[in-house]
C-alpha cells in the first residue's frame, strides 16, 4: 500500500466519483513539473488531502501516525508486535524530517537508506560514511556537505546548516540507520538489508523472528542466522 498526496497527482480531479468504479491509466497522463502519477506496482492507495495543491508533505502526518500506530501495536498479551521499517529511495527535504522522527521519536523505527538513489538518500549515505567516531565531521567534510545540500535543495526554505543538523542527528543513530549499497558486503539483496534491520533493531523474540522470516526468502533468513 502507498500513501500518496492528492495534491501531487496529475489530473486527479477527473478520477473523483461517488459510488462508481473509476478507471485509472497512469500512461494516459503527462508528467508535469512537480506532479506525478500513481505507481501501478502498488495494490492499494490511501490518499491524503490537506487542501494544498502542487506541494509535497500532505501525506506525512497521516503516514507517520499510521506507521507509529502499527509499530506500537501488539497482541493483547503483548507477545506479538508488527515490525515497521522505513526504506528511503531518493527523497527530499520532507523525507529528511520524516527520517529524523523515525529515528528519534518513540517507538523508534529503523531506516534503510539506498545509497546511489539520489538527493536525500545520497546526502545521508555520504554523511554516514564520513562521520567521525565522536559524532562530528571534519571541517572539510562539513563544508562539502553544506555545498552538496545547497546544490540538492537550492530553493528550500530551510538553511543548509539547518538541514545539515538534521542529517547529523540522523547518521548518529547507527543502531537504527542502515546504508544499503549494491556490491558491498556479503549480500547484494535489499531483502537481506530490510530483514536484518527489522530483526536486529526491534528486540523481537526468537519465535517472532522466525514468524517474520516467513515473509522473506528462506535463504535470506539462513544468511542472517548462519
Nearest residue to 96 (alpha-carbon basis) of 190, 162, 1, 182: 162
Residue with grid cell 546526502, as numbered in its chain: 123
Examine residue 18 and state whether it is found in any structural domain, yes or no: yes
Same domain, 50 and 72: no
ω into 29 cis (within 30 of 0): no
209 lies in the same domain as 147: yes
Full-prediction pTM beyond 0.85? Answer: no
The residue from 56, 78, 93 where one domain ends is: 56
Say what the pLDDT of residue 157 is.
Answer: 83
Summarize pLDDT for 172-218 with one digit per residue, the tens: 999 899 999 865 655 557 777 777 777 766 666 777 777 666 665 55
- What local confidence, expressed as pLDDT, does residue 222 receive? 53
Q: What is the pLDDT of residue 72?
A: 73
Domain boundary among 33, 56, 79: 56
Q: Which domain holds residue 165?
A: 68-213
Residues 52 and 73 placed together within one structural domain of the fold: no
Tell me if 29 sits within 8 A of 37, measured CB to CB: yes
Q: How many other C-beta atoms can be found within 10 angstroms of the C-beta atom of residue 12?
A: 20
- Which of 18, 33, 56 is the endpoint of a domain? 56
How many structural domains are present in the chain? 2
User: Is 51 found in the same domain as 123?
Assistant: no
Residues 197, 89 within the same domain: yes
SS3 48: strand
| pLDDT computed for residue 30 by the predictor | 47
Same domain as 30, residue 74 = no
Residue with cell 500518496: 4
Residues 48 and 80 in one domain: no
CA dihedral 64, 65, 66, 70 (to 10 degrees): 100
The reported pLDDT for the residue numbered 202 is: 61
Could you give phi then psi for residue 120, rounded to 5 degrees? -60, -40
158 and 103 in a common domain: yes
Any idea which residue has 543502531 for its cell?
175
Return the axis-axis angle of helices 190-201 and 206-213, rounded to nearest 10°: 160
> Do 43 and 81 share a structural domain?
no
Instruction: Output the tens digit of pLDDT for each of the chain's 226 residues.
Output: 667 666 555 556 666 677 777 666 655 544 555 556 666 667 777 777 777 666 666 677 787 788 778 777 766 666 556 778 888 989 899 899 999 999 998 888 899 999 998 999 999 999 999 999 999 999 999 999 999 999 999 988 889 999 999 999 999 999 899 999 865 655 557 777 777 777 766 666 777 777 666 665 555 555 545 5
State whether 181 and 88 are in the same domain.
yes
- Residue 224 within a domain: no
**Secondary structure class of 36 (helix, strand, coil):** strand
Amino acid at each position: 500500500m502507498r500513501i500518496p498526496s492528492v495534491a501531487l497527482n496529475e489530473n486527479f480531479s477527473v478520477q473523483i466519483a461517488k459510488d462508481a468504479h473509476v478507471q485509472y491509466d497512469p500512461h494516459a497522463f503527462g508528467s508535469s513539473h512537480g506532479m506525478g502519477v500513481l505507481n501501478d506496482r502498488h495494490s492499494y492507495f490511501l490518499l491524503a488531502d490537506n487542501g494544498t495543491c502542487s506541494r509535497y508533505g500532505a501525506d506525512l502526518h497521516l503516514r507517520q501516525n499510521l506507521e507509529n500506530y502499527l509499530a506500537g501495536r501488539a497482541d493483547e498479551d503483548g507477545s506479538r508486535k508488527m515490525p515497521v521499517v522505513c526504506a528511503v529511495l531518493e527523497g527530499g527535504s520532507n523525507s529528511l524530517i520524516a527520517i529524523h522522527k523515525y529515528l528519534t521519536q518513540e517507538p523508534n523505527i529503523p531506516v534503510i537508506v539506498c545509497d546511489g538513489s539520489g538527493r536525500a538518500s545520497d546526502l545521508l549515505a555520504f554523511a554516514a560514511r564520513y562521520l567521525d567516531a565522536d559524532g562530528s565531521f571534519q571541517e572539510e567534510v562539513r563544508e562539502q556537505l553544506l555545498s552538496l545540500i545547497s546544490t540538492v535543495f537550492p530553493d528550500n526554505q530551510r538553511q543548509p546548516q539547518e538541514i545539515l543538523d538534521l542529517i547529523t542527528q540522523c547518521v548518529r543513530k547507527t543502531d537504527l540507520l542502515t546504508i544499503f549499497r549494491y556490491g558491498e558486503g556479503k549480500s547484494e539483496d535489499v531483502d537481506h538489508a530490510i530483514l536484518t534491520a527489522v530483526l536486529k533493531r526491534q528486540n523481537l523474540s526468537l519465535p517472532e523472528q522466525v514468524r517474520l522470516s516467513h515473509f522473506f526468502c528462506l535463504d535470506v533468513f539462513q544468511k542472517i542466522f548462519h
